[in-house]
Amino acid sequence: MAETRRNGNTSPAYVKIQQAVRKRIDSDQLKPGDPVSSERELAREHGVSLMTARHALAILEREGIVERRRGAGTFVAPPRIHFNKLMSYTEQMGSRGLAPRSKIILNKIIDDEPEVTARLGLSASSRLVKIERVRYAGEEPFALETCYLSASDFSRLTEAPLARTSLFATIENDFGVEIAYSDEEVDATIAEGRSAQLLNMAKSDAVMRIRQVIYSSTNKPIIYVIGLYKSERHTLFIRRMR
């Protein structure tokens, strides 16, 4: 069990270590991707056992503050993206003081996607705009998102610079469609083949899958999204308001 030595105040020793690491991150002394002192270095610096230092880092890892890379050490983790409001990726990253970065994998008009057209309330023969993007937090890919929209309404999206602009903002500003809410299904699946490669993950690693139908303010379904995210396993159904 980790030490609870108080070191002159009311906080356990492992909490003092966590506070010290957090302080360095909050003050920008440490940035996402930077190495964090090793367990041995933290134990020596704070005058505690190796087990106590390990316990402190384990808690920080569970909270998503740091991440441990086998054979490399412990590093400041990219800020987690919290799915608590219907926000575009650009808005999510901006709210955390980070520059959004995406890579367009595909942006074209397709057909023969009957399941998707059904989700969007379209006829089975309807053509769709398909937009596939890898999302980054810092230098690390964290999501693979595929968006589908009606080609009859949004064909001009194939020409939009969506690697550096928000899809939500483009739809609202260029097409005059107000985004209001989404119905979502969230479950766990595994990264396979191409998706694992694009997310820089091992095949069979767990990912969180979010399937969204995004509606306009007139209650019309306008976007169907399938997102694969690096996260923990859970399943739920969500409605988020814009």
Looking from the CA of 121 toward its CB, the CA atoms found within 13 Å total: 8
pLDDT of amino acid 128: 98
Angle between helix 39-46 and helix 50-62 axes, rounded to 10 deg: 120
7: left (phi over 0), alpha (psi -120 to 50) or beta: left
Length of the chain: 242
Number of helices (H), then strands (E), in the chain: 8, 10
Which domains are delineated in the chain? 13-76 (1.10.10.10), 89-241 (3.40.1410.10)
The pLDDT of residue 233: 39
Of 174, 125, 181, 169, nearest to 153 (Cα)? 174
pLDDT at 242: 67
Q: How far apart are CA 201 and CA 17, in angstroms?
A: 30
pLDDT of residue 235: 45
* CA separation for the pair 37, 18 (Å, rounded): 12
Q: Please, what's the largest Cα pairwise distance for the chain?
A: 72
How far apart CA 81 and CA 241 sit, in angstroms, is 17
pLDDT in tens, 45-67: 999 999 999 999 988 888 778 88
List, for the chain, all residue ranges whose pLDDT scores fall below the cut of 50: 1, 6-8, 83-84, 95, 232-235
pLDDT at 93: 53
* Stated pTM of the model: 0.61
